[in-house]
Every structure is written in structure tokens, then in C-alpha cells.
Amino acid sequence: MVTTRESNTSSGDRRVRRTHAALASALIQLVEEQDLSRISVADVAEHAGVSRSTFYDHYRDVHELAEAACTAMIDDLIGSLPAPGPHSADPVRDATQSLEAFFASLAEHAGLYRALLGPQGSARLVDHIRRRIAAAVYDLVRQAAAGGDLLERGGSPVDIPHDVPAVFTAGALIGVAADWLQRGCPLPPAEMAALTWPLFSALYRLDVDALLR
């Protein structure tokens, strides 16, 4: 039986999630029209249909909201990307499709990511993306080494060993993505993926034969 207190807590959590989603959606729409630096708390609150006091109940400022929105989108994206493995019929295709999805997601919200990954951006977001990518690379290599068996790691990306090639690969990918965004995404995501995958695999010494063993 659900108690009144439990029901209230669950209801409150849902309200918080709805408010966070409304604010993030409002910010994403506004960034398509103007630079992040020109968007005010009042703009976001009005667009989301909430009061300014409600905004401040959840975030200190627009920059903190932007960080939270980008972090959530990156987590969802990386969690949903298919990874090439030993049972894949075409691991290169799978890898490039995953990279294409990564670049396409950045391009979809280019204004927001450009602001946060640029010179005056968010070090916290850059670090979060680096850790998530490094953890994904680390898990992919462990899976390949185990013959394709899914391995349970548990914990957060910060818990992975200090795997230098994985961290180096993640940093390189972020650098390429940030430069691409700052230049206005001159190449389409598919071409970025095709150019990036050979470098990505070489940095971590991943080849197709290793993935298919």
C-alpha cells in the first residue's frame, strides 16, 4: 500500500521533472533564435510558462540550466548509441553510424553546444562528456577482449581505471567536435563520422579484426 507521504514524494518528483523538462525545452528553443549569452532568466521562464521564482527554485542562472540540459542530452545520446562488437556484421558501419549520431545530435543544438564547449564555455560539461566517452570506449574494448560478452562494470564513469588511451581518445573527439561547432558545422555529420572513425580506432588501437575475434 502506498502511503500518503510516498504519494506526495512521487508527485513532487514528477513535478520537478516536468519543470526541468519545460525549462530545458524553452532554453533549447530560445537558443535557436539568439545566442545563449543574450537569453535571460525572464525569457526562459516566460517561454516555459513558469514564474521567475520557480526558475530560481531549480537553477541559479541560465548557464546552469544550459549545463544541466546538455548533460542530460549527452547522457541519453551516449547511452543509446550502438557499439560495434564481435557479433556485428559490419563493425565499421556500426561505429560510423554511432559517431554520425553523436555529431548529428551536436548539430541539432549547435548554438547551445557551441556556447558551452567554446572558449568561454563550461569546463564541467566538457569534463562530463570526456568521462562519458572514455567510459564508453573502455567498455567497448573490454567487451571486445571478452569475446563479445557483456560485462557489468557498475558505478559511474569516474570509477573506470585511469585508462590513458581511452581518455586520450575522448579528449581528441571532444576537441574535434568543439572545433567543428565553432566553425559552424561546415561538414555534415556523416562526413565527420567517416573522417573521425579511422582516427578514433587508431588512437585506441581498435581494428576490425580485433572486434570480430
* CATH number for 46: 1.10.10.60
User: What pLDDT does residue 93 have?
Assistant: 77
For residues 121-126, give the mean pLDDT: 91
The answer on 83 and 44 residing in a single domain is no
The answer on 15 and 103 residing in a single domain is no
The answer on 184 and 101 residing in a single domain is yes
User: What's the mean pLDDT when you consider all of the chain?
Assistant: 81
Q: Using the 3D structure, point to which of 12, 35, 59 is the last residue of a domain.
A: 59
Burial degree of 11 (CB within 10 A; 0-12, 13-18, 19+): exposed
The answer on 91 and 169 residing in a single domain is yes
Selection from 156, 165, 98 nearest residue 137 by Cα = 165
Per-residue pLDDT tens for 153-186? 444 554 555 678 788 888 889 999 999 999 999 9
- Domain hosting residue 49, numbered range: 1-59
Residue type, 207: D
**Domain count across the chain:** 2
pLDDT band at 83 (very low <50, low <70, confident <90, very high): low
d(C-alpha 201, C-alpha 165), whole Å: 11
User: What pLDDT does residue 115 have?
Assistant: 92
**Cβ within 8 Å of residue 71, ≥6 positions away:** 125, 128
Full-model pTM: 0.75
DSSP-assigned states of every residue in 27-79 = HHHHHTTS-GGG--HHHHHHHHT--HHHHHHH-SSHHHHHHHHHHHHHHHHHH
d(C-alpha 27, C-alpha 188), whole Å: 25
The answer on 76 and 53 residing in a single domain is no
The answer on 88 and 38 residing in a single domain is no
DSSP H/E element including 99: helix 91-108
More confident residue, 74 or 207: 74
pLDDT of 98 higher than 90: no
For residues 79-104, give the mean pLDDT: 74
pLDDT of 189 higher than 60: yes
d(C-alpha 77, C-alpha 173), whole Å: 15
User: What pLDDT does residue 31 have?
Assistant: 93
The answer on 131 and 75 residing in a single domain is yes
Q: Using the 3D structure, point to which of 44, 59, 74 is the last residue of a domain.
A: 59
User: What pLDDT does residue 78 have?
Assistant: 82
The answer on 189 and 159 residing in a single domain is yes
In b/e form, how buried is each residue of 106-144, taking b as 16+ CB within 10 angstroms?
bbebbbbbbbbbeeebbeebbebbbbbbbbbbbbbbebb
* CATH number for 131: 1.10.357
